[in-house]
Structure 1
Amino acid sequence: MASSDEPRHPPLRSFGRIKSRAIKPRQAALFDTLLPGIALPDPKAGPIDPTALAPDAAGVWLEIGFGGGEHLAEQASRHPDVLMVGCEPFLNGVGSALRHIDERGLKNVRLHADDARDVMTALPDASLDRVMILFPDPWHKARHNKRRLIQAETAAEIARLLKPGGVVRFVTDWTDYAEWALEKFRRTPGLERVGSPGDDWTTPWADHVITRYEEKRLGDTTPLFMEFRRV
Structure 2
Amino acid sequence: MTDHQLPKTRSGEPRAFFGRRSGKKLHGGQQAVFDATLPDLEFKLSGALDPRSLFPKAEKIIVEIGYGGGEHLAVEAGRHPDTGYIGCEVFTGGIGKMVQTIAAENLRNIRLFTDDAFKLLVELPDASLDEVYLLYPDPWPKTRHHKRRFVSPTTLNELARVIRTGGLFHFATDIEDYANWTLAHIVREPQFSFTPGKPGSWHEPYEGWEATRYEQKARREGRLISFYFSFLRQ
Secondary structure class of the residue paired with 1:155: helix
Give the deviation of 1:121 after TM superposition.
0.9
Give the deviation of 1:199 after TM superposition.
4.3
* CA 1:54–1:117: 2 relative to 1, 3 Å: same
1:149-191 residue CA offsets vs partner (Å, 9 max, x unmatched): 0001101111111111100000011111000011111211211
Task: Tell me the C-alpha RMSD between the 2 structures.
Answer: 1.6
Secondary structure class of the residue paired with 2:194: strand
1:194-216 residue CA offsets vs partner (Å, 9 max, x unmatched): 31433432111112211222111
Match of 2:16 in 1: 12
Which portions of structure 1, spanning 4 or more consecutive aligned residues, are displaced by more than 4 angstroms? 218-221
User: How far apart, CA to CA, are the structure 2 residues paired with 1:196 and 1:98?
Assistant: 37
Match of 1:23 in 2: 26
User: How far apart, CA to CA, are the structure 2 residues paired with 1:39 and 1:126?
Assistant: 23
Match of 1:200 in 2: 201
Structure 1 unaligned spans of 5+: 1-6
* CA 1:10–1:221: 2 relative to 1, 3 Å: farther
Secondary structure class of the residue paired with 1:131: strand
User: How far apart, CA to CA, are the structure 1 residues paired with 2:140 and 2:26?
Assistant: 26
* CA 1:154–1:219: 2 relative to 1, 3 Å: farther
Structure 2 unaligned spans of 5+: 1-10
* CA 1:155–1:221: 2 relative to 1, 3 Å: farther
Conserved in 2, the CA contact under 8 Å of 1:135 and 1:173?
yes
Task: Show the 5 A alignment for 1:133-212.
Answer: 133-212=134-213
Percent of pairs with identical residues: 40
Match of 1:132 in 2: 133
TM-score normalised according to structure 2 size: 0.90
Give the deviation of 1:26 after TM superposition.
2.4
Match of 1:227 in 2: 230
TM-score normalised according to structure 1 size: 0.91
Opposite residue 12 of structure 1, the aligned amino acid is: A
User: How far apart, CA to CA, are the structure 1 residues paired with 2:201 and 2:51?
Assistant: 34
User: How far apart, CA to CA, are the structure 2 residues paired with 1:221 and 1:176?
Assistant: 15
